[in-house]
């Protein structure tokens, strides 16, 4: 006799097979160089799951920033497809790509890009208010994030009144202020001394693990890369696991 199919069991199993937050499939990106094309990404494949930190390590000029820009929907690929939270992005309009980016992705750069005339608290509030949150809700969440980054004493400071490590921690708090699913960071500790870099990375890692974010972080710091879940590099425009 055939065993009965247990639908509950199948559904439970399905729920545990989680879709990756970010999927790159055969992604291509080329730049025009006079008469010729510079092929930067030549069929890059990658999948990153929620709660996973992935280090991107490759020499200067290999295409790390290009990969982050394309994955972050800041640039369109010349070929291939990018899925973000299960959504195929290739056929979306520019306006929809921007909306999806604002909702799902946080960026951290090597230089913090904080607004100099605003305090730490206001810098973390602003993206939330742009998204439509009330001032009170935005300031509550900004306070929580800054205290999570151990910056409660710096709320009222402007960027010029903070150290490099503090500025970067504010930038990380700002990047996750709208509860994105994906964090993309381009050499976020590249401008810091080794001790500060570790401190900032620890804060970032704790935040990723606590919030279940997926994170792709370009770095030259091998100590930091070793502490992520996976390491990848770019070889001839393709992604290779290390």
Write out the residues near ligand ADP by the rule CB under 6 A. Answer: 31, 38, 40, 58, 60-66
Shortest distance (Å) from residue 37 CB to ligand ADP: 10
Helices 135-148 and 194-211: crossing angle in degrees, nearest 10, is 120
Shortest distance (Å) from residue 66 CB to Mg ion: 8
**Residue 216 and residue 185 in contact, taking contact as beta carbons nearer than 8 Å:** yes
Nearest residue relative to Mg ion (C-beta) = 65
CA–CA gap between residue 49 and residue 204 (Å, rounded): 17
Alpha-carbon radius of gyration of the chain: 19
* Cβ-Cβ contacts under 8 Å for 140 (sequence gap 6 or more): none
Count, residues near Mg ion per rule CB under 5 A: 2
Q: Which is nearer to ligand ADP, 61 or 212 (CB)?
A: 61
The entry of Mg ion, ligand ADP, none near residue 141 (CB within 5 to 8 angstroms by kind) is none
The entry of ligand ADP, Mg ion, none near residue 37 (CB within 5 to 8 angstroms by kind) is none
Q: Which of 53, 65, 89, 128: binder of Mg ion (CB under 5 A)?
A: 65
Strands (E) in 139-179, as ranges, are none
Q: Residue 82 pairs with which residues in a beta bridge? A: 24
- DSSP string of 198-213? HHHHHHHHHHHHHHT-
Shortest distance (Å) from residue 2 CB to Mg ion: 58
Shortest distance (Å) from residue 217 CB to ligand ADP: 13
* Binding footprint of Mg ion on the chain (CB under 5 A): 64-65
């Amino acid at each position: 006799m055939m065993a009965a199919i247990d639908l509950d069991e199948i559904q439970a199993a399905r729920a545990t097979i989680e879709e990756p937050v970010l999927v790159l499939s055969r992604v291509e990106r080329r730049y025009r160089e006079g008469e010729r094309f510079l092929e930067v990404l030549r069929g890059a494949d990658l999948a990153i799951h929620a709660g996973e930190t992935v280090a991107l390590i490759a020499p200067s000029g290999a295409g790390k920033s290009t990969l982050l820009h394309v994955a972050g929907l800041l640039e369109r690929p010349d070929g291939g497809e990018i899925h973000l939270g299960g959504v195929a992005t290739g056929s979306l309009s520019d306006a929809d790509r921007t909306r999806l980016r604002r909702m799902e992705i946080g960026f951290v750069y090597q230089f913090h890009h904080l607004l100099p005339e605003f305090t730490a608290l206001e810098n973390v509030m602003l993206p939330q208010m742009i998204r439509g949150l009330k001032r009170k809700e935005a300031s509550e969440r900004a306070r929580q994030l800054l205290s999570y980054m151990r910056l409660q004493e710096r709320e009222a400071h402007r960027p010029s009144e903070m150290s490099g490590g503090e500025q970067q921690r504010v930038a990380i708090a700002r990047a996750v202020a709208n509860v994105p699913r994906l964090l993309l960071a381009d050499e976020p500790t590249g401008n810091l001394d080794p001790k500060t870099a570790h401190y900032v990375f620890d804060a970032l890692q704790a935040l990723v693990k606590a919030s279940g974010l997926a994170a792709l972080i370009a770095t030259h710091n091998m100590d930091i890369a070793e502490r992520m879940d996976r390491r990848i590099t770019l070889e001839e425009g393709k992604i290779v696991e290390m």
